[in-house]
A and B are shown apart, each in its own frame.
Chain A
Amino acid sequence: MISHARAIAPIETLSMHHRITGMLSRELRMDAANISPEVPLTQYGIDSIAALTIAGELEDQLGIELPSTLLWDCQTVNDLADYLGAELSGRQLANEVSYAGH
């Protein structure tokens, strides 16, 4: 299971939100404005194929390797933005918060 840190600079998180929402909007064929960062992605009809596609696209766009279970652990846009922001910033994840039980 992956862990993540929430201590991300706001600007990084904002741009990450934008990227993720744009990707979801294309994948789900819905208006980006209607995708809330706090709503579980499954509620927008993300199925296993979309989950794999999104994880793959994120890897390509960001140039980093992501766990194959990314969308099992990051279930909202906020979760994804936090996790990816932390990965990209290369920070030591000192205060890891496990997603177990979330």
Chain B
Amino acid sequence: MNTLLPQFRVAAELEQRLGDTQLPQNLFSFKATMERDEGEVYPEQAVNFLNGLNLHHYYVPKALGGRFVNCEEILAIHRVVARRDLAVAITYSTVAWSTLIWIAGSNAQKEKMAGRILGGGVAPCLAYSEKEHGADLLGGSVTATRLSNGDYEIDGEKWPINRATRGDFVSLVASTSNDRGPRSLTAFMIDKRDLDPATYYHLPRVKTLGLRGIDLSGIGFKKTIVRKEAVIGQEGEGLEAGLRGLQVTRTFCASFALGAGDTLLRTVANFAIERQLYGKAIVELPHVRELLANAYVNLMAAECIAFAAARGMHLFTDQFSIWSAIAKVQAPAMVERAGEAAAKVLGARFYMRDEYQWGIFQKTFRDNLIISIFDGSSVICLNSIGAQLKQISLTRQRGKSLSVEQVEALYDLRRPLPEFQPSRIQVYSKGQDAVAASLPVLLDKLAAMSADALLSEQRLLDIRNAAATIARQLADFDQAVISYFETSKDSSASAVFAKAEEYCQIHTSIVSLGIWLHNRTHLRDAFANGAGLLAILQRRGSPVLDVGGTDIPARESLMQDLLDRMQTNQMFSIINFQLAASGAGASHTSIHSIVSSNSTEGR
């Protein structure tokens, strides 16, 4: 028990390398983060520091000379950086857009991209959006005209683009046909070094609410010649490439939310312990305990979503059109609602930019809001989920549930994962959803469980009842979806958005149950008692905090666990994840020097 699982070891080591967040001279301390934010400074030094640790190697597949093997590992790495400074995490993570090449690139493109990243820590930016067209990719104005020699001439502007000015590559989607159909777009991975500098330009940095130092800018093309070797896949496959790439990055977004959530809750929990009012620390006040315990439940739910998604990417790669959208909607929503609850505890200091812990709470709160906006906003993701619901509900009614072995592989964090094969990502999941299909096996496992020293009879009974409610909810859901589409074809109606939201919540309940059932005996005692799971199930996976509705023993159990996490300096997580010790300085040593999970064997 309590041994750190191999997939989290690199992130744990990275956490130590970055040093104590409270030590001002550390580049990743809260003070340094706030100085970057207040000064609206691009985090160049921090990005270089991460490259110095060889973090960029974790974005390149092992087969191409890098160290990327495991999606759980990359999520854990993002989480560690995100808890210190989301602006750095979100800047750095654009390296992940190389995923388009791993998914659909030629061998030559793969080798070039791998070589450029490994050689110099270079990064692409994702140039999809346009000022007048937003997420309407097929409506875009940037054109790519094929010339007689097969090369392309690009015209138009992409905006707003993270790292557009400082990025070394541009991952571009442009129209190669006027018909606006699904085959009218072509994707390019353009190395800026290959362009004539006189034919492209950068747009000024945009002033933003959060992530104040980031390079959110744009790029414009004026008859820019791009070689045919830059095309990803074939002409006409741009929408396909774009949608497939988003499935990877949307899933990664959950880890940014988890990192932010840790800082939001940690800062406020510290405040509640230190703050004396009415003759005692405010952490003793029942309402404060209720808010903190519920915020903690939200973080647990977000983590279960992220863990299952990271594993699912290896196991059910072709189902990620729906799964990535759910993770992208639900994990940030969980953290946003947790942040709102935590802000109430912080009171007036929430509104002050440099009070309490250098003002890290308000910055993280602001920064975190971007997660449900970029890479396809929650509205876009819900629309995408809604468009697939009919097929999903119909398929489930005639489909089979997963086998016990498949369910164990998905949820048991100790189980080795098969190699992640990005080329297996499909534009649509064809109605398959492994999470919902795992529920019958989970209910059987729950029915066969007995109470033990850590799990009371009453808690087990409550969990069983709550899980049965979720099963009924899913059956009712399918019936309602099928009925709706029998009489309507309108998938953009508000009613469909509401159903898509409910589906995200059902997903949350099921993954939380799955993770708990398969890991409760080997993680922490506080996880084994099921208090957090019960709260998630009783809330039916909703991110909205049900303050006043948590039963007192469950709340107190959660609070005790939360305070233990604070005292022992651990991440808010179902696993034990040690944070950098008080007073620890940063270290420049490469993270390669440690034993990593860079093997799917021997786990």
Q: Mask for B360-402, Cβ within 8 A of A = 1, else 0? A: 0000000000000000000000000001101100110000000
Contacts of B428 in A (CB 8 A): 52, 55, 68-69
Assess whether A101 is in contact with B394, with CB atoms less than 8 Å apart.
no
Assess whether B489 is in contact with A47, with CB atoms less than 8 Å apart.
yes
Residue with the highest number of chain B CB atoms closer than 10 Å, among A47, A50, A56: A56
| B237 CB within 8 Å of chain A | yes
| A49 CB within 8 Å of chain B | yes
Interface size class of B (residues with CB under 8 A): 20 to 34
Q: How far is the CB of B232 from chain A (nearest CB, A)?
A: 13
Assess whether A52 is in contact with B387, with CB atoms less than 8 Å apart.
yes
| B235 CB within 8 Å of chain A | yes
Assess whether B391 is in contact with A49, with CB atoms less than 8 Å apart.
yes
Contacts of B485 in A (CB 8 A): 49
Instruction: For chain A, residues 54 to 91, give those with C-beta under 8 angstroms from any C-beta of chain B.
Output: 55-56, 59, 68-69, 72-73, 75
Whole-angstrom distance between the alpha carbons of A100 and B233 in the complex?
12
Assess whether B395 is in contact with A101, with CB atoms less than 8 Å apart.
no
Residue in contact with B395 in the complex, picked from A56, A75, A98, CB distance below 8 Å: A56
Instruction: For chain A, residues 15 to 71, give those with C-beta under 8 angstroms from any C-beta of chain B.
Output: 42, 45, 47-50, 52-53, 55-56, 59, 68-69
Residue in contact with B182 in the complex, picked from A72, A98, A101, CB distance below 8 Å: A72
Assess whether B390 is in contact with A49, with CB atoms less than 8 Å apart.
yes
Assess whether B430 is in contact with A52, with CB atoms less than 8 Å apart.
yes
Contacts of B426 in A (CB 8 A): 68
Q: Which residue of A lies closest to B432 (CB)?
A: A56
Whole-angstrom distance between the alpha carbons of A62 and B422 in the complex?
28
Whole-angstrom distance between the alpha carbons of A50 and B391 in the complex?
9
Q: Mask for B389-431, Cβ within 8 A of A = 1, else 0? A: 0110011000000000000000000000000000000111111
Assess whether A100 is in contact with B427, with CB atoms less than 8 Å apart.
no
| B240 CB within 8 Å of chain A | yes
Q: Mask for B153-174, Cβ within 8 A of A = 1, else 0? A: 0000000000000000000000
Assess whether A100 is in contact with B240, with CB atoms less than 8 Å apart.
no
Whole-angstrom distance between the alpha carbons of A35 and B388 in the complex?
25
Assess whether B387 is in contact with A100, with CB atoms less than 8 Å apart.
no
Q: How far is the CB of A81 from chain B (nearest CB, A)?
A: 19
Contacts of B388 in A (CB 8 A): 49, 52
Assess whether A1 is in contact with B234, with CB atoms less than 8 Å apart.
yes
Assess whether A101 is in contact with B235, with CB atoms less than 8 Å apart.
yes
Assess whether B491 is in contact with A48, with CB atoms less than 8 Å apart.
yes
Assess whether A69 is in contact with B182, with CB atoms less than 8 Å apart.
yes
Residue in contact with A50 in the complex, picked from B181, B235, B429, B489, CB distance below 8 Å: B489
Assess whether A53 is in contact with B240, with CB atoms less than 8 Å apart.
no
Assess whether B183 is in contact with A72, with CB atoms less than 8 Å apart.
yes
Assess whether B183 is in contact with A53, with CB atoms less than 8 Å apart.
no
| B177 CB within 8 Å of chain A | yes
Question: Given that A68-B426, A69-B427, A72-B182 are known contacts, is A53 also in contact with B391, CB under 8 Å in the complex?
Answer: yes
Q: Which residue of B lies closest to A100 (CB)?
A: B236
Q: How far is the CB of A84 from chain B (nearest CB, A)?
A: 16
A side interface size, CB within 8 A: 22
Whole-angstrom distance between the alpha carbons of A42 and B489 in the complex?
14
Assess whether A56 is in contact with B236, with CB atoms less than 8 Å apart.
no
Assess whether A49 is in contact with B430, with CB atoms less than 8 Å apart.
no
Contacts of A48 in B (CB 8 A): 387, 491
Whole-angstrom distance between the alpha carbons of A45 and B489 in the complex?
10
Contacts of A72 in B (CB 8 A): 181-183, 240
Whole-angstrom distance between the alpha carbons of A74 and B485 in the complex?
24
Question: Given that A59-B430, A69-B240, A69-B427 are known contacts, is A49 also in contact with B387, CB under 8 Å in the complex?
Answer: yes
Whole-angstrom distance between the alpha carbons of A48 and B321 in the complex?
14
Residue in contact with A53 in the complex, picked from B177, B321, B394, B429, CB distance below 8 Å: B394
Whole-angstrom distance between the alpha carbons of A73 and B429 in the complex?
17
Question: Given that A48-B491, A72-B183 are known contacts, is A53 also in contact with B236, CB under 8 Å in the complex?
Answer: no
Whole-angstrom distance between the alpha carbons of A99 and B177 in the complex?
13
Question: Given that A52-B388, A72-B182 are known contacts, is A1 also in contact with B489, CB under 8 Å in the complex?
Answer: no
Whole-angstrom distance between the alpha carbons of A102 and B181 in the complex?
10
Assess whether A100 is in contact with B491, with CB atoms less than 8 Å apart.
no
Q: How far is the CB of A66 from chain B (nearest CB, A)?
A: 8
Assess whether A68 is in contact with B430, with CB atoms less than 8 Å apart.
yes
Question: Given that A53-B391, A101-B177 are known contacts, is A1 also in contact with B183, CB under 8 Å in the complex?
Answer: yes
Contacts of A47 in B (CB 8 A): 489, 491
Q: Point out residues on B near A: beta carbons under 8 Å.
A: 177, 181-183, 233-237, 240, 321, 387-388, 390-391, 394-395, 426-431, 485, 489, 491
Q: Point out residues on A near B: beta carbons under 8 Å.
A: 1, 42, 45, 47-50, 52-53, 55-56, 59, 68-69, 72-73, 75, 98-102
Given A1-B183, A47-B489, A101-B235, 14 more pairs with CB closer than 8 A: A1-B234, A45-B489, A48-B491, A52-B388, A52-B430, A53-B390, A55-B428, A56-B394, A56-B430, A68-B428, A73-B183, A98-B234, A99-B183, A99-B236
Complex A-B, nearest 9 residue pairs according to Cβ-Cβ distance, in ascending order = A72-B182, A68-B428, A68-B426, A100-B236, A52-B391, A68-B427, A48-B387, A49-B491, A69-B427
**What are some 8 contacts across the A-B interface (CB < 8 A)?**
A48-B491, A49-B489, A52-B387, A52-B390, A56-B395, A69-B182, A72-B182, A75-B181
